[in-house]
Structure 1
């Protein structure tokens, strides 16, 4: 795990967002440093998706400030976020099944030479990118439809890196994956950190969070409910912050075990 110092690349202060009568976020703060994995956790409806969509430019904030490398910025639409250096990989991945890996990586960012698609350059860059991330797939010319769930996920993450972002947001990247495929994705998250990227990881899986996150930011009912360093914090403490209850099945079981041990 890294000890992050210095100013954050991305900082949110007192961010609020309403949808009609519904207050989705209230006075939320969040910091993301270069080379840091921040896990964003909370129950369904805690505001996680709304928060990352404010950063990604899908839902502009109503109040508060967003700073990028120390200067205030306005993120009013997805293009603003991309221009700053924010890449988002949503749960649905938005990959085109019928196209191959190269075509998916460069979708909307195709390389051209003399006005014609430069397939050779795109294939070379695709291979270089996948190699540097240690992503193993049978071929960059294989259709997405032929890949496993884990391979699709890492290709979607690789596509987010084509534009050289500084911050990558991953929305539940392991939700539908088995053990081996999950390990593949978590390995990639480690490599993003090693490359000095800031990563915001939305996850329900405490084992995944403990495996790769440096910091855990808990949202509860649209508000901050604690920021914890993963090293030195128990899963029980984090679960208590998520549920807002110090008494839950986990803590009761611990108390029972402690009682029996006496």
Structure 2
């Protein structure tokens, strides 16, 4: 089922920044994605929901280039693009923050934010770049700028070891690392899972800040309260196929749960 059949987009709806059409993915005899259509605009949080096995994580991995789809088309600002590996996705400004975060707990915040792209000191022309001393001051300046962009106010120092941070602070650091200067799409996989109330609040504030800074945000979660607080639209998948896409303000948690678990009658009208 295409999105055109189950959503009505008004003239004021923002144009999609990232759009995919007819995405197919099989794992042997398992048909994981069945012609999925999906889109997200800049300055929008699009929630992606569905029961376990609905295809959410598979779609995210396809968008991130971690999985190669078996069919379908990709568009950035309606221009066709190719995503066949993580390098392709990164070059297009698409970043994903997985649930495990992949942070180095023995390093401080600044080192984690520069991991893989550490600045080095100039004035050592006789040494190859990988042997030059790290520029710790530049690393700290970059880290502070990244934290300030997302307004992470609970972090006292970028020299704090990640291993000593709270779950909410770690999630914020992982998001800040993903949001580089060229990043326009941020995909978040269960960012508030296993977090307490205060830590969840920190993460939701960061998600709202991403929207305010013009990023296109894809938000996967099973927590309906969080979804209804931060999302602008909600896309429901079931058994690897589109069910519907709603404006968050025009639906209810009960309606979303029914769509996730039982699907929709063909006559149901869903506006987005």
Report the TM-score, using the length of structure 1 for normalisation: 0.90
Matched, 1:131 2:148: yes
Query: Structure 1 stretch 108-117 or stretch 41-50: which is displaced more?
Result: 108-117
Change (3 A) 1:4 1:242: farther
Question: In the TM superposition, what is the alpha-carbon distance from 1:245 to its structure 2 partner?
Answer: 5.7
How far apart in 1 are the matches of 2:194 and 2:12?
31
3-state SS of 1:88 partner: strand
Segments of structure 1 that go 5 or more residues without pairing to the other structure are 247-262
Matched, 1:47 2:55: yes
3-state SS of 1:117 partner: coil
How far apart in 2 are the matches of 1:4 and 1:180?
35
Deviant stretches of 4+, over 6 Å: none
Question: In the TM superposition, what is the alpha-carbon distance from 1:72 to its structure 2 partner?
Answer: 1.2
3-state SS of 1:64 partner: strand
**Pick from 170, 184, 196: which aligns with 1:166?**
184
Tell me which residue corresponds to 2:240: 222
Tell me which residue corresponds to 2:217: 199
How far apart in 2 are the matches of 1:200 and 1:162?
16
Deviation by residue 1:47-71 (Cα, 9 ceiling, x = unmatched): 0000000000011111110111111
RMSD: 1.4
Query: Structure 1 stretch 134-143 or stretch 24-33: which is displaced more?
Result: 134-143
Question: In the TM superposition, what is the alpha-carbon distance from 1:4 to its structure 2 partner?
Answer: 6.4
Segments of structure 2 that go 5 or more residues without pairing to the other structure are 1-10, 123-131, 265-272
**Pick from 61, 64, 72: which aligns with 1:64?**
72
Contact kept in structure 1, 2:243 and 2:263, CA below 8 Å: no
Q: How does 1:1-262 map to 2 (within 5 A)?
A: 5-114=13-122, 115-135=132-152, 136-244=154-262
How far apart in 1 are the matches of 2:71 and 2:261?
26
